[in-house]
Amino acid sequence: MKNIKIKTIKIHILFVLLFLAAFAAAAEDNPFLSAYNTPFDVPPFDKIKVEHYLPALKQGIVQQQAEIRAIAANPEPPSFANTVEALDNSGALLRAVENVFNAMRSADTNDRLQAVAREVSPLITRNRDDMFLNEKLFQRVKAVYAQKDLLNLTEAQQTILDEYYTNFVRGGANLTPDNKDRLRKINEELAVLSLKFADNVLAEDNRFQLVLEQQNDLAGLPRWVVDEASQAAAGRGLTGKWVFTLAKTSLIPFLQFSEKRHLREKIFNAYITRCNHGDSLDNKAILTRIVSLRIDKAKLLGYGNFAEFMVERNMAKTPTNVYDLLYKLWKPALAAAKNEAAALQELIDKEGGKFKLQPWDWWFYSEKLRKSRYSLDDDVVRPYFKLENVRDGAFQVANKLYGLKFIEKIDIPKYHPDARVFEVQEADGSHVGILYTDYFPRPTKQSGAWAGALRRALRKDNKKVTPVITNNGNFTKPTVDRPALLNFDEVKTLFHEFGHGLNSLLSQSSFNRPYTPRDFSELPSQIMENWALDPEVLKLYARHYQTGELIPQELIDKMKKATLFNKGFDAVEYLAASILDMDWHTLNELTGPDKFDVEKFEADSMNKIGMIPEIVVRYRSPYFSHIFRGGYSAGYYGYTWSEVLDADAFEAFKETSLFDPKTALAFRKNILEKGGSADAMVLYIRFRGAPPKIEPLLKRNGFN
What values do phi and psi take at 283, rounded to 5? -100, 0
Is 497 among the residues known to form the active site? Answer: yes
420-425 and 458-460 beta bridge pairing? unpaired
**Do residues 520 and 315 make contact, with C-beta atoms less than 8 angstroms apart?**
yes
What values do phi and psi take at 325, rounded to 5? -65, -45
Tell me the C-alpha distance between 23 and 26, whole Å: 5
What single DSSP character describes residue 671? I
**Do residues 314 and 632 make contact, with C-beta atoms less than 8 angstroms apart?**
no
**Do residues 539 and 533 make contact, with C-beta atoms less than 8 angstroms apart?**
no
- Count the helix, strand and coil residues of the chain and give each as a percent rounded to the nearest 5: 60, 5, 30
Count of other CB atoms within 10 angstroms of residue 149: 8
CA angle 639, 645, 646 (to 5 degrees): 80
Q: Angle, nearest 10°, between helix axes 362-374 and 248-257?
A: 70
Helices assigned H by DSSP within 351-425:
362-374, 378-381, 387-402
**Do residues 676 and 509 make contact, with C-beta atoms less than 8 angstroms apart?**
yes
**Do residues 52 and 32 make contact, with C-beta atoms less than 8 angstroms apart?**
yes
Count of residues making up the chain: 704
Residues 163, 497, 529, 643: which is the catalytic one? 497
Handedness of CA 561, 562, 566, 571 (dihedral sign): negative
CA 593 to each of CA 91, 199, 288, 305, 590: distance values in angstroms, whole numbers, following the listed order:
37, 21, 6, 16, 6
Tell me the C-alpha distance between 489 and 493, whole Å: 6
Any residues with CB less than 8 A from the CB of 318 and at least 6 apart, and which?
Answer: 308, 311, 312
Specify the 3-state DSSP secondary structure of 460: strand
* Residue 140 bridge partners (DSSP): none
431-438 and 420-425 beta bridge pairing? antiparallel
Tell me the C-alpha distance between 381 and 127, whole Å: 51
What single DSSP character describes residue 593? G
Tell me the C-alpha distance between 437 and 439, whole Å: 6
Count of other CB atoms within 10 angstroms of residue 543: 20
Tell me the C-alpha distance between 662 and 656, whole Å: 9
- Over the Cα atoms of the chain, what is R_g? 27
The catalytic residues are 497
